[in-house]
Structure 1
Amino acid sequence: MSAPCDNQTGGPERPSFVTDDELERALRDAFARRVATPRPLAADPAGLAVRRARRVGRRRTLTGLALAGVATALVTTGVAQLGAPAGRDGTPIVVLGDPRGSSPSPLPAESTAAAPAAGPVRPELDLIVGSWLYTNGGERWELTGVSTVERAQRVPDRGGWLLTSAVTAAGRTLWWVPPNGRPPQVLLAGADAIAVAADGRRVAWRDGGEVFAAGAVAGQLLATTRAAAPAGAVPVGFAGDTVLIRQPGRGGFRVWHSPTEDRLGTVNRDVLNVYGVRPDGLVVGQVSAGTPRRPCLALLDPARELAPVRTGCDPELATDGRGDVSADGRWLLVNGARNAALLVDLDALGSGGSGQSAGPALTGVVTWTRAGAALHVDAAGALVRVRPEEVTAGEQPFSSPVDGVAPGDRPVVVADSRP
C-alpha cells in the first residue's frame, strides 16, 4: 500500500491545470461549506468574488489594448518623441502618459490628504499656495512632488494645468497637472528656459545649443520642431505659432516661425522687452527709441521681425520687463521708472497720454481675469487686484493677505487660458 501524498513527498492527487468552471465551482463549494445554517444568504459571496475577478480581467485586457493602440498610433504618425532629443546628455525628457504607472481604479476627484488649516478665500483665478492648488470653483488639489513653481497656466477645455518651476541648479521643470486628481506628471526636466503659450496649447524650451517647440495635448508634447540657437538665446513667449526669442543681455529679440522654419529670424536689437500679444496679433513691447534714445512702448509686428507699428514714449518705464497685456488688448500693467506699477491705455498709445499710477510695483508675474482685472503678488506676498475702471477713476489698488502662506513663501496666480 503506497504512502499517502503530502507536501514533501509524492505527487498531487489531481492535475495542476484547473479550468475556470472548475475553479468557480470549487469556490462556491468552499463558501457553501462555511455556512452554518441552511437559510439562504442575502448575498452571494462566491459570485461576488468571481464577478470581481472577471471585472479585473476585463479592465486589464482593455488597458492593454488601449496602450497598444496608443503605441501603434504614435509609431505610425511619427509626431511624438519619447525620451530626450538628441544632441547632449541630460536633455529635457518628454514624457508620454503617467511615469508613475496607472491604476485600474481612479483616484478620488479631490485629494484626501490633510489640507492646510486655513486656505485662501476663493480667488478670481486659480491660486497655488505652498503645495496646494486652489481653484476658483472651490476645489483644492495637492501638488505631490511639485516645488518652486514660478508660473502656472490653465490648459483650455478643462485640460488641467501646466506649471513651470523657477530656475534651479538642475534647470527648469514643466509639470502637467491632470484635471481628474491624479498626481502631476513631469513633461520636461533640466531645460534651460521654458515658455508656455497664453492659450496653453504650445510649449517652447531651450536645451543645449537648440530651441524646441511642441504642441501640448493631454499631458503630451507632440510634433516637436527644433532650431539651432546662439548661446544665451531663450524663448520667452508666443505670438500665435511664432516663438519670441530673447537674446542674451540687452542683445534684442528675434522670432522663430517654428511650424515652417528651421532657423531663427534676424535680431531686432532695438527691442528691449516684450509684455504680451494683442488679439490683432501685434506684440506689445519695449523699444529703444526717441531723441535722446530711451525706453518707449511700441506695438510690434512679428511678421516683420518685430518692426514697430506704433510707438509712444510718454510713460517713463522700468526696464525689468515685468508686465502683461489684458485679454482684450487694451490695457498694459507694467512697472514704471519710479518703483510703482503703471496702467497704460494701449488704444491711446502715441497720443501723448501717460500711464496712471496703479499701486505697488510688480515683483513677479501678472495675470488678467476674463472680467478685465489684473492680479499680481506684491513684495510682502499679498495679492493685489488692479481694476482699470477704478484706476482711471483715481482709486488706488489695495493688497489682500493670502491665508495659509508659509513665511518666506509666495502664492502663485494661475493664468487663465486665452483663445
Structure 2
Amino acid sequence: MTADQLERAIRETLSRQAAVPRPCTVDPAGLAIRRATRTRRRRLFTGTALAGMATVLVSVGMVQLSPQAGHPTPPTVVLGDPRDSSWPAPEPVPSPSGGTSRPSLGPAGAAVDLVVNGTLYTSGKTGIPLGVVVADRAQRVPDRGGWLVVGAPTVAGRALLSVHPDGSTRVLLAGAEAIAVAPDGGQVAWRDGDRLSIGGIVGDQLVAVAGTSAPGAAVPVGFAGNSVLVRRDPARPGYALWHPSVGGLPADGWRDVIAVHGALPDGRLVGMVPTGTPRRPCLALLDPNRALATIRTACGPNLSPDGPGGVSTDGRWLLVNGRTGSSGPVGTLLIDLATLDGTPAARPAGPALAGAVSWTPAGTAWYVDARGGLVRVRPDRVVAGERAAASPVTGVEPTGRPVVVTDPAP
C-alpha cells in the first residue's frame, strides 16, 4: 500500500466514525501522517538543516552558542504549518444574522487588541480569524509586525501562530506541551516530551537553536534576556534560569520562588517568595545574573500565593491578585514598586485577574476578570481611591473567555 493510499484509508475510517458532522479544528490523521513524514525528512536532512540554522543565527546576531553548549537537537514537534504554512487573508466571520460577528466592548471601548471566539480583533476594529488555533495568550510584534498567538492546550498539544497585519497566518510551532515567547517576540522556548528547546523567530521562520533535558514536569514560562525562565512544576514553587549558551539546566539551580510577574527596565525581575513564620508570600526583586538570587523582599500586602500579574512598562507599578484585608475577597491590587524599600503601598484596583495584563506605553493596564469582563486600570485614578470596574464583552461563547493582547517590550 502506498503512502497516498494509507492516508486516504485513515481519513475514510475517521470520517465514518464521526456520528454528527461538525467543523473540526484539528485533523488527527493528517497531523499524524505529516509528523511521520517530517520525522523521516529530519533524519535525512538534519546535518544540512543545522548548518543552515547556524548561518541564519550568526547573520542576524541572535543567541551565540559556545562549543560546550551541547549538541543542538532537532525538535520533535512539527515546525511550520502542515498545510504549506501560509494562508491568505481570511474573510470576516459572518454572524447568524448575516452581518459581521464582532464583540461589543461596552463603555471600556476598544483601545486594546482582543482575541474573542477564535478571532483577533484589533483596536482598529479589524477582525482576523485564527483558523485552527484557540488562543491562550497573544502579544504584538514590534514595529507593526503583527501578532504571535500561543494556542490553548489540546490533544495535539499547543501551537504558536504568527498573524500578519494583512490577515494571513502561519503556524510556526505545533504539538508542544508548553510554549513561552520572549517579550520582544524574538525568541520562543517550548517543552516537548522530555526536552526543552529554544528557538529564534526570524521573519516568519522558527529556527531551532538548542535543546536540553527537561527534569520532571519542568516547563518554560518566560525569558530574562536570552535566558529561559523555567518553572520546576506548574503546580509547585521553584524556578530556575536556563542559559542555552552554557548548557543544560543546573541540578542545583532551583530557587524557592512562588511566581515571577515581570521585569524592571534594568532587567531585575519582580516576583514572590515565601518568607516569615508561618510562611507567606512576599514581594521580591530577583537578580537574573545570579541565578535568581533574592535582592530584596518586601512584605505587607496580603498577596495570593500564585497566579497572574504584570509590571508596567516603566517599572513603577505591579498589578497582582490579593486581598485588602485578612479575610476579604480576592481582587486586584495596584502596588507601587517605588515603595519596596519599606512596606509596599498596595491599593485595591478592581476585580481579580484571570489572565495576562497588558500595560500600554501610556501607563494604562488592561486585563480580563474571572467572568470574562474587560477591565481598564488607570493608576492615577486608583491612587485617588477609584476602583476599576469590568465592562462586559458581549458575544463571547459560553465556554470561551476574551484574551487580552499584550504589547511588546520596549
Please state how far the C-alpha of 1:326 moved relative to its aligned partner: 0.8
Are 2:360 and 1:381 equivalent residues in the alignment? Answer: no
The answer for the alignment partner of 2:288 in structure 1 is: 302
Select the structure of larger CA radius of gyration.
1
Paired letter, 2:227: T
CA contact (8 A) 1:125 1:414 kept: yes
* Equivalences for residues 311-390 of structure 1 within 5 A: 311-337=297-323, 338-390=329-381
CA contact (8 A) 1:356 1:391 kept: yes
Q: Name which of 112, 115, 128 aligns with 1:125.
A: 112
CA contact (8 A) 1:161 1:176 kept: yes
> What is the CA–CA distance in structure 2 between the aligned matches of 1:191 and 1:118, rounded to whole Å?
30
Are 2:168 and 1:198 equivalent residues in the alignment? Answer: no
Describe the SS at the equivalent of 1:358.
strand
Please state how far the C-alpha of 1:228 moved relative to its aligned partner: 1.6
CA contact (8 A) 2:133 2:159 kept: no
The answer for the alignment partner of 1:418 in structure 2 is: 409
The answer for the alignment partner of 1:402 in structure 2 is: 393
The Cα offsets for residues 105-159 of structure 1, whole Å up to 9 and x where unpaired, read as: xx56x73553634434552221111122111133222222222x11001111222
Q: How many positions carry a matched residue from both structures?
A: 334
Paired letter, 2:302: E
> What is the CA–CA distance in structure 2 between the aligned matches of 1:217 and 1:179, rounded to whole Å?
17
The answer for the alignment partner of 2:100 in structure 1 is: 116
CA contact (8 A) 2:173 2:206 kept: no
**Structure 1 pair 139/272, CA: closer, same or farther in 2 (3 Å)?**
same
Q: Name which of 212, 217, 227 aligns with 1:227.
A: 212
CA contact (8 A) 2:133 2:152 kept: no
> What is the CA–CA distance in structure 1 between the aligned matches of 2:175 and 2:355, rounded to whole Å?
22
* Equivalences for residues 34-73 of structure 1 within 5 A: none
Unaligned runs of 5+ in 2: 1-47, 58-71, 324-328
Are 2:136 and 1:156 equivalent residues in the alignment? Answer: no
Q: Name which of 236, 243, 249 aligns with 2:228.
A: 243
Describe the SS at the equivalent of 2:139.
strand
The answer for the alignment partner of 1:254 in structure 2 is: 240
Unaligned runs of 5+ in 1: 1-72
> What is the CA–CA distance in structure 2 between the aligned matches of 1:117 and 1:243, rounded to whole Å?
39
Are 2:170 and 1:185 equivalent residues in the alignment? Answer: yes
Please state how far the C-alpha of 1:283 moved relative to its aligned partner: 0.7
Please state how far the C-alpha of 1:293 moved relative to its aligned partner: 2.8
> What is the CA–CA distance in structure 1 between the aligned matches of 2:157 and 2:82, rounded to whole Å?
21
Paired letter, 2:362: A
**Structure 1 pair 394/251, CA: closer, same or farther in 2 (3 Å)?**
closer
> What is the CA–CA distance in structure 1 between the aligned matches of 2:143 and 2:82, rounded to whole Å?
20
**Structure 1 pair 102/344, CA: closer, same or farther in 2 (3 Å)?**
closer
The answer for the alignment partner of 2:8 in structure 1 is: none
**Structure 1 pair 77/376, CA: closer, same or farther in 2 (3 Å)?**
same
* Equivalences for residues 68-147 of structure 1 within 5 A: 77-79=52-54, 86=74, 91-95=76-80, 99-100=83-84, 107=88, 111-114=91-94, 116-121=100-105, 123-147=110-134
Higher RCO (C-alpha under 8 Å, 6+ residues apart): 2
Please state how far the C-alpha of 1:241 moved relative to its aligned partner: 0.9
What's the TM-score once normalised by structure 1's chain length? 0.74
> What is the CA–CA distance in structure 2 between the aligned matches of 1:98 and 1:303, rounded to whole Å?
39
Describe the SS at the equivalent of 1:408.
coil
What's the TM-score once normalised by structure 2's chain length? 0.75
Q: Please, what is the CA RMSD of the aligned residues?
A: 2.5
**Structure 1 pair 267/102, CA: closer, same or farther in 2 (3 Å)?**
closer
Q: State the identity %.
A: 49
Describe the SS at the equivalent of 1:334.
strand
CA contact (8 A) 1:385 1:397 kept: yes
Describe the SS at the equivalent of 1:78.
helix
Paired letter, 1:202: Q
Q: Name which of 251, 254, 265 aligns with 1:279.
A: 265
Query: Could you tell which deviates more after superposition, 132-141 or 358-367?
Result: 132-141
> What is the CA–CA distance in structure 2 between the aligned matches of 1:363 and 1:261, rounded to whole Å?
36
Please state how far the C-alpha of 1:85 moved relative to its aligned partner: 5.4
> What is the CA–CA distance in structure 1 between the aligned matches of 2:181 and 2:145, rounded to whole Å?
15
> What is the CA–CA distance in structure 2 between the aligned matches of 1:326 and 1:78, rounded to whole Å?
35
Please state how far the C-alpha of 1:270 moved relative to its aligned partner: 1.9
> What is the CA–CA distance in structure 2 between the aligned matches of 1:76 and 1:224, rounded to whole Å?
11
CA contact (8 A) 1:161 1:177 kept: yes
Query: Could you tell which deviates more after superposition, 114-123 or 385-394?
Result: 114-123
The answer for the alignment partner of 1:26 in structure 2 is: none
Which structure has the highest strand share of the two?
2
> What is the CA–CA distance in structure 2 between the aligned matches of 1:75 and 1:363, rounded to whole Å?
40
Paired letter, 2:202: V
Please state how far the C-alpha of 1:280 moved relative to its aligned partner: 0.6
